[in-house]
Structure 1
Amino acid sequence: MSRSLRPDAVLVQAVIAGALSFAHLHDLAATAGQTGWKAWAYPISVDLLLVAAWRRLRNSGRSRLAWCWFLIALVASLGANIATAGFLDLANPPALLRLGVAGWPALAFLGGTLLAHAPSTTAAGDRAPAVPAPSPQAPAPGPEPAPAPVPEPAPALAAEDAPALPAADPAPAVVVPPALIAHARKVADDHRARTGHAIDPDALRARLGVPPAMADAIATQLT
């Protein structure tokens, strides 16, 4: 569906102001000695630099470079409007005016190049707000587990039902060498001769230096 063109007061005002500024820049360039197509190129250069700086300001926000070249182009346009309003003798333009008009192409080329190759940054207002990552939700508590059943104690076995424990093996008999028995007999005879009494197992063990079990076995064989 086509949109109908309707007059806009702001747009009309911008066209009128641009046309007047364009004409004043052309007259100023022609007065400074720029004739033919050169006089028409000056207002185009000033207006293009002004628009480029304005677009850079919209895209980059607070850019010092864009503000610098925007003010330079604005001063050039505003200066041409004031100079052609009768403040300067255009029949005899001053040398400073000729110098400014002659140096403008190089200045405009420098400004356009810097604006074209400057890094573009997004304005702070155009940046999308960072969405915080959703925090992990704690799992919902499940039903409490049922208590484990307590096992019933096993019934006590009757005395007759209890399994019989295996009988412990009897201690192995101590084997005494015959030579040790003969030596022990001499010790016992010597003890009887000196004391008049039979030697007891503790004294025999102390004299022979043998374990108690072996001393008991030797004493049994001596009796």
Structure 2
Amino acid sequence: MRAHLARVDAVIVQAVIAGALSFAHLHDLAAAAGQGGWKAWAYPVSVDLLLVAAWRRMRAQQRAGQPAGGARLWFLVALAASLGANVATAGLLDLDHVPASLRVVVAGWPAVAFFGGTLLAHEPRTPEKPSASVPPDMDAEPSSAPPAVDESHRDALPASPPDTAPDLPTSPSPAPVVALPPALVDRVRALAEEHHTATGQPADPDTVRARLSLPPSMTPAVAAHL
């Protein structure tokens, strides 16, 4: 545990030192390019914020499987601005006589940073994939209760003839088959073809129904589409 905390502390200290040095270099370059006062302090904040925002958006898009070209471009732009300031203030540039081209770049940076930050903030989010679910009315078993008879018309019904033969046992009528949605029908057929390809035998309706997490009452409906 102590070793882990020591590693974390070392990383944090290193990040703070590197960030402070880069911040100071950007401030010195902005001040030398004619951006004095609070404006010289705002430049390093702008560069570092764009760098962090582009990095976070790039990582989020990569985890979601989306192309991260736009975020990567703005990350490289902010990184080039930070590295350029570090190199320019390392004695390779006379800060007392800054070239006009560098003054133009420093003066134009706020517009570039604003444009990049706006694009990063308004990039479309990852759409959530709708989860396939069984319609709620498919779990309910069909009602087999006989229709109610209106008492007011009971006397108008014809009398049943007297029984002349013993009642014969009748087999129960099969329950009506519930219609499946087209998407579920396609899924049933795809699973049946997959089973036939793997085993060489036709798929069992009960097996297909179980793989789709449907109730046992849906077995006839599944069998009707195999």
Q: TM-score range by the shorter chain?
A: 0.5 to 0.7
Task: Tell me by how many angstroms 1:45 deviates.
Answer: 0.2
Task: Tell me by how many angstroms 1:106 deviates.
Answer: 0.3
- Supply the distance in 2 between the matched residues of 1:24 and 1:14 (Cα, whole angstroms): 15
Match of 1:77 among 64, 75, 82: 82
- Supply the distance in 1 between the matched residues of 2:28 and 2:82 (Cα, whole angstroms): 12
Task: Tell me by how many angstroms 1:137 deviates.
Answer: 4.4
Task: Tell me by how many angstroms 1:135 deviates.
Answer: 3.3
- Supply the distance in 1 between the matched residues of 2:18 and 2:210 (Cα, whole angstroms): 62
What is the CA deviation profile of residues 69-110 of structure 1, one whole-angstrom value per residue up to 9, with x for unaligned ones? 000000000000000001111110011110100000000000
Query: How much identity, in percent, do the aligned residues show?
Result: 70
Match of 1:136 among 194, 199, 209: 209
What is the CA deviation profile of residues 39-94 of structure 1, one whole-angstrom value per residue up to 9, with x for unaligned ones? 00000000000011011011111411100100000000000000000111111001
1:99 maps to 2:104: yes
Matched with 1:171 is none
Which residues of 2 match residues 181-192 of structure 1 at below 5 A?
Answer: none
Unaligned runs of 5+ in 2: 133-186, 192-206, 217-226
- Supply the distance in 2 between the matched residues of 1:105 and 1:49 (Cα, whole angstroms): 11
Larger-Rg structure: 1
Matched with 2:9 is 8
1:17 maps to 2:22: no
Task: Tell me by how many angstroms 1:120 deviates.
Answer: 2.3
Unaligned runs of 5+ in 1: 140-223
Match of 1:68 among 70, 73, 77: 73
Match of 1:86 among 83, 88, 91: 91
Q: Number of matched residues? A: 132
Check conservation: 1:25, 1:81, Cα contact below 8 A: yes
CA RMSD of aligned residues (A): 3.1
Q: TM-score, normalised by structure 2?
A: 0.52
